[in-house]
């Protein structure tokens, strides 16, 4: 077990997934900038805490999927370190506990900034990270992962980020966060679409495993289109930020990803769509951050 290898831990943390945590926090922070000013320490704490929760969730997913037998040698997606025997299961378990513990400690400062609402949101975030694939009723195994993914990596993350900096709940941050939430659903659905045949064999009843390929294609397409068109709502409520509507030009990239998904033959072809979607969210977030301040 080469558990001391830094490269293996980077692989286990799945850095390509961190966009779902970073995007809503960056958008919440840039909205805070125009609604009272950025509080840099709170912004950094929210960013670091969100990333640690995402990493902890990834590690817990790696561990619990291995323990339940859901990860097999025929899995098509990126290699899982526990299933591949690269890091001992107990070490991965300790790592996700450590990651969640650090997030909890950072959360104490955010509670100081935001009070009891942050206590509730923070504890639910940690709990959902654990029961996503762990516990007696893992959400991902019962087709219940989409809504928490949308909320906690979307409007809740963005609005909370703005709140701990300005002390106000911002409608703009909730709407912008919805775009990030739809991206989170898109990434989840493309992963589930890629793996649904294997998931069916091992009893992992994601929505795509239950309803099949066509459902997965529709779920991905609607999610990524909703993500890229959500900014069109903001100029109606905030005319002074009319330029943010140009963020929706990323829809053209989204349509290319949807076409690729509709026409895929082998599940491994969806790995390219996964990368495409992660890049699309990064580009979308950068455009949003720039145009919101113009």
Averaged over 77-101, what is the pLDDT? 91
Q: How far is it, in rounded angstroms, from Cα 22 to Cα 27?
A: 9
Tell me, yes or no, whether 140 lies in a domain.
yes
Q: Distance (Å, rounded) from C-alpha 74 to C-alpha 77?
A: 9
DSSP state of 132: T
> Would residue 239 count as lying in a domain?
yes
Confidence at 294, pLDDT banded by 50, 70, 90: confident
Count how many domains the chain has.
Answer: 1
Assign residue 292 a region: left if phi > 0, alpha if psi is -120 to 50, beta otherwise?
alpha
> Quick check: is 251 in a domain?
yes
Contacts of residue 259, defined as CB under 8 A and 6 or more positions apart, other chains included, come to none
Domain containing residue 252: 6-292
Burial class (CB in 10 A: 0-12, 13-18, 19+), 8: middle
What CATH number does residue 148 fall under? 1.10.600
Token pair of 60 as six digits: 């817990």
| Residue 61 resides in a domain | yes
Integer-rounded Cα Rg, in Å, for the chain is: 19
Dihedral angle of Cα 62, 64, 70, 71, to the nearest 10 degrees: 30
Q: Is the backbone of residue 92 left (phi > 0), alpha (psi -120 to 50) or beta?
A: alpha
**pLDDT, tens digit, 9 for 90 and up, residues 202-245:** 889 999 999 999 999 999 999 999 999 999 999 999 999 999 99
Q: How many CA atoms lie within 13 A of 114 on its CB side?
A: 28
Closest residue by Cα to residue 90 from 56, 53, 63, 65: 63
Q: Is residue 1 part of a domain?
A: no
Over residues 246-289, the pLDDT tens digits come to 999 999 999 999 999 999 999 999 999 999 999 999 999 999 99
């Amino acid at each position: 077990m080469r558990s001391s290898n830094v490269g293996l831990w980077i692989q286990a943390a799945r850095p390509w997934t961190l966009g779902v945590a970073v995007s809503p926090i960056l958008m919440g922070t840039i909205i805070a900038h125009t609604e009272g000013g950025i509080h840099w320490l709170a912004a950094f704490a929210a960013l670091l805490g969100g990333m640690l929760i995402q990493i902890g969730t990834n590690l817990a997913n790696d561990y619990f999927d291995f323990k339940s037998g859901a990860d097999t040698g025929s899995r098509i997606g990126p290699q899982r370190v526990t299933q591949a025997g690269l890091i001992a299961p107990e070490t991965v378990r300790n790592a996700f506990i450590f990651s969640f513990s650090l997030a909890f400690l950072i959360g104490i400062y955010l509670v100081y900034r935001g009070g009891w609402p942050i206590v509730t949101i923070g504890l639910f975030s940690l709990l959902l990270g654990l029961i996503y694939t762990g516990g007696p009723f893992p959400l991902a195994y019962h087709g219940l992962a989409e809504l928490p993914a949308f909320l906690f990596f979307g409007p809740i993350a963005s609005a909370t980020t703005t709140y701990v900096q300005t002390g106000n709940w911002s409608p703009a941050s909730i709407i912008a966060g919805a775009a990030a939430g739809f991206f989170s659903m898109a990434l989840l659905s493309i992963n589930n679409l890629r793996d649904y045949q294997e998931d069916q064999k091992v009893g992992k009843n994601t929505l795509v495993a239950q309803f099949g390929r066509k459902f997965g294609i529709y779920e991905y397409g609607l999610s990524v289109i909703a993500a890229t068109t959500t900014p069109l709502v903001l100029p109606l409520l905030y005319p002074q930020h009319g330029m943010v509507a140009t963020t929706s030009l990323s829809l053209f990239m989204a349509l290319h990803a949807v076409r690729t998904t509709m026409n895929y033959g082998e599940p491994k072809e969806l790995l390219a769509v996964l990368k495409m979607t992660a890049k699309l969210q990064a580009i979308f977030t950068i455009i949003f951050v720039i145009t919101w301040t113009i």
